[in-house]
Amino acid sequence: MKTTLFPARIHILFARQADYALIIRRGPSKKVCTIGWDRITNTFTLGQWLFGRIYEERCDLSPDGKYFIYFALNGKWNTETGGTWTAISRTPYLKAIGLWGQGNRGGGGGYFISNTEYVINTINNLHKELLIPDNLIQIKDRPTTWNTDVNYYARLVRDGWSYVERYQEDKDTTIAIFKKDLHPAWKLKKICTNKCCHDRHQLVSVSQEHVLDYPNWEWADADKRGLYWAEKGKIFNAQLGVFGLINISELYDFNSMTFEAIKAPY
């Protein structure tokens, strides 16, 4: 019987004030790892693997790219974390320097206000503080939410995306549309569903006369260096010309990666 190989799933967080990004690579379904990306040299550094799931839409990087906040699940419900937890780590690793046991899938994760200030998503402090990070400050008077898509959408707006509209596609699916200016002739359109991180992407001309659909792009963003996207377990870069993408290059193929036991250097 022929085995069907599914490509790795890729989600990327850009640091807001540094030429650095963190890649969350998932696959097979119960294994995930983090990878640091130096975006000046296009070099990639493996962080650590986790037997479980990281919920990409509830994650964030500190503006300088040094810290990672994430929400994870391993389903070990009788452990100290309760099977799900929020953690803060030093990039690109997953070893916690801050840890909050959750015990369910509602809420969790958080976001950074600054390089040293963070917010944990919870209601009425319904988490278990297991490890408090040194030299970082939890801000408890900022908005938190158990609503996964709201957390993700707020992060998009903060990072330069413009909210366009939100509507109900069917009884189970809510669509939210965001756009980002890329080029005098083009905008990048991100079509998000309430099934977070299953985004669709299009390039739309400023005149809206031309729409280029890219159904295989699972993540996409842009900066002064051009357009980046993840497709079938690979990362690509391109420039935009009058008629669309030009100078396309593949930066890295993550599909062949397998589990490695790596100890964080802290």
Instruction: Give the tens place of pLDDT for each residue, 147-194.
Output: 666 678 889 999 999 999 999 988 888 899 999 998 888 999 999 987
Report how far residue 158's alpha carbon sits from residue 147's, in angstroms, rounded to the nearest whole number. 17
Residue 113 counted as domain residue: yes
Sheet holding 217-223, edge to edge: 217-223, 226-231, 234-241, 244-253
Report how far residue 112's alpha carbon sits from residue 53's, in angstroms, rounded to the nearest whole number. 21
The whole-number pLDDT of residue 72 equals 96
Beta-ladder partners of 154: none
Residue 266 counted as domain residue: no
Residue 2 counted as domain residue: no
64 contact partners, CB below 8 Å, separation of at least 6: 15, 17, 18, 20, 115
Residue 135 phi/psi, 5° resolution? 65, 10
Residue 265 counted as domain residue: no
Q: Output the six-digit token pair for 127.
A: 């988490």
The whole-number pLDDT of residue 147 equals 61
Q: What is the DSSP letter of 155?
A: H
Amino acid at the residue 225: R
- pTM attached to this predicted model: 0.92
**Domain count of the fold of the chain:** 1
Bridge-based pairing of strands 117-120 and 137-138 is parallel
Domain range for 167 = 9-253
Q: Output the six-digit token pair for 23.
A: 């890649």
Residue 3 counted as domain residue: no
Query: Which helix (H) or strand (E) is 179 found in, with range?
Result: strand 173-183
Report how far residue 201's alpha carbon sits from residue 216's, in angstroms, rounded to the nearest whole number. 8
| Tens-digit pLDDT profile for residues 9-24 | 999 999 999 999 999 9
Amino acid at the residue 128: K
Residue 142 counted as domain residue: yes
Amino acid at the residue 81: T
Residue ranges of the chain whose pLDDT lies below 70: 1-4, 123-126, 143-150, 195-197
Residue 186 counted as domain residue: yes
Report how far residue 181's alpha carbon sits from residue 160's, in angstroms, rounded to the nearest whole number. 9
151 contact partners, CB below 8 Å, separation of at least 6: 57, 58, 109, 111, 121, 145
The whole-number pLDDT of residue 2 equals 43
Residue 4 counted as domain residue: no
